[in-house]
């Protein structure tokens, strides 16, 4: 069995998405698609509008314009809490695990939208197979885990919803290079399962390693897009985002 709902992936389409905070424009007419099984990265400097794009996609900040669809379904007016029912799993920036609950309770909360049945137990086993360290620590409080382990837990919790598309906001933030490598391995494994991924990162190296396609955001707009292989060879990208 797969850990994801990747057998039923559909195209995510984001069109002319805009976000304003008060009078300040943070995202301006951003559009992209994530084809079934594709992994798409959004890179950009601090304040480029990456997180705002994801939050607006998930319905976590108000949009001042734009349309969102998954397959044939229009999700433009779907509320954040209902996105998960449409197969979109979200790993927020900063992890947001529940520190006073055990690892296993945190994972079980990921499946809140479904009845807790044998299927859910199987899903828990799949998540433990992907992250053996979480199984070892299943009874520990989430607050006692290291940053890397909390990131695994946040990804595991999102996988408990059996998503068809996994959206991750800066999963490498604050992690050592070794742990960033672990996250990269996990993302590659999910990609091999055929899960669609949308990854926002400041770490361009990780993003190019984990994705097939990338968007570069600058000042709230899409400045460049293409395959990750092409973009990682682009002289400007190499200089500005890879420091080469």
Q: Using CB under 6 A as the criterion, which residues of the chain lie in contact with ligand ATP when the complex forms?
A: 21, 24, 26, 44, 46-52, 202
CB-nearer residue toward ligand ATP: 48 or 216: 48
Helices 118-130 and 147-159 cross at an angle (nearest 10°) of 150
Give the pairing of strands 196-201 and 213-218: unpaired
CB-nearer residue toward ligand ATP: 21 or 116: 21
Give the residue from 160, 155, 162, 165 showing the smallest Cα distance to 111.
160
Provide the minimum distance between the beta carbon of 42 and ligand ATP in the complex, in angstroms, as a whole number. Answer: 8
Provide the minimum distance between the beta carbon of 102 and ligand ATP in the complex, in angstroms, as a whole number. Answer: 30
CB-nearer residue toward ligand ATP: 159 or 200: 200
C-alpha dist (Å) from residue 18 to 22, 43, 64, 69, 206: 13, 17, 5, 15, 27
Give the residue from 202, 243, 194 showing the smallest Cα distance to 93.
202
Provide the minimum distance between the beta carbon of 68 and ligand ATP in the complex, in angstroms, as a whole number. Answer: 17
CB-nearer residue toward ligand ATP: 21 or 112: 21
Residue where the block lists tokens 């607050």: 143
- Measured in degrees and rounded to the nearest 5, phi and psi for residue 44 equal 165, 160
Provide the minimum distance between the beta carbon of 145 and ligand ATP in the complex, in angstroms, as a whole number. Answer: 23
Provide the minimum distance between the beta carbon of 59 and ligand ATP in the complex, in angstroms, as a whole number. Answer: 15
Query: Would you list the DSSP string of 117-173?
Result: SHHHHHHHHHHHHH-HHHHHTTTSBGGGS-HHHHHHHHHHHHHTT--SEEEEE-TTT
Residue where the block lists tokens 């992994």: 39
Q: How far is CA 70 from the centre of its chain?
A: 16
Provide the minimum distance between the beta carbon of 115 and ligand ATP in the complex, in angstroms, as a whole number. Answer: 36
Bridge partners (DSSP) listed for residue 225: 215
Provide the minimum distance between the beta carbon of 208 and ligand ATP in the complex, in angstroms, as a whole number. Answer: 17
CB-nearer residue toward ligand ATP: 4 or 53: 53
């Amino acid at each position: 069995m797969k850990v994801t709902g990747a057998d039923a992936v559909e195209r995510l389409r984001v069109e002319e998405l805009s976000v304003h905070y008060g009078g300040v424009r943070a995202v301006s007419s951003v559009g992209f698609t994530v084809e079934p099984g594709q992994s798409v990265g959004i890179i950009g400097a601090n304040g480029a509008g990456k997180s705002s794009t994801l939050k607006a996609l998930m319905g976590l900040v108000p949009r001042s314009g734009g349309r969102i669809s998954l397959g044939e379904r229009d999700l433009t007016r779907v509320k954040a809490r209902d996105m998960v029912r449409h197969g979109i799993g979200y790993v927020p920036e900063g992890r947001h695990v529940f520190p006073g609950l055990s690892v296993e309770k945190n994972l079980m909360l990921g499946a809140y939208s479904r009845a807790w049945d044998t299927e859910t137990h199987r899903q828990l086993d799949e998540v433990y197979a992907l992250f053996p360290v979480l199984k070892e620590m299943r009874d520990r409080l989430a607050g006692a885990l290291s940053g890397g382990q909390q990131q695994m837990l946040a990804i595991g919790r999102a996988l408990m919803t059996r998503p068809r598309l996994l959206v991750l906001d800066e999963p490498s933030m604050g992690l050592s290079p070794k742990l960033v490598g672990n996250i990269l391995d996990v993302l590659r494994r999910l990609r091999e399962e055929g899960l669609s991924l949308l990854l926002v990162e400041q770490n361009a190296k990780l993003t190019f390693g984990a994705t097939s396609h990338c968007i570069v955001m600058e000042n709230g707009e899409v400045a460049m897009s293409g395959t990750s292989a092409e973009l990682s060879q682009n002289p400007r990208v190499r200089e500005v985002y890879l420091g080469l």
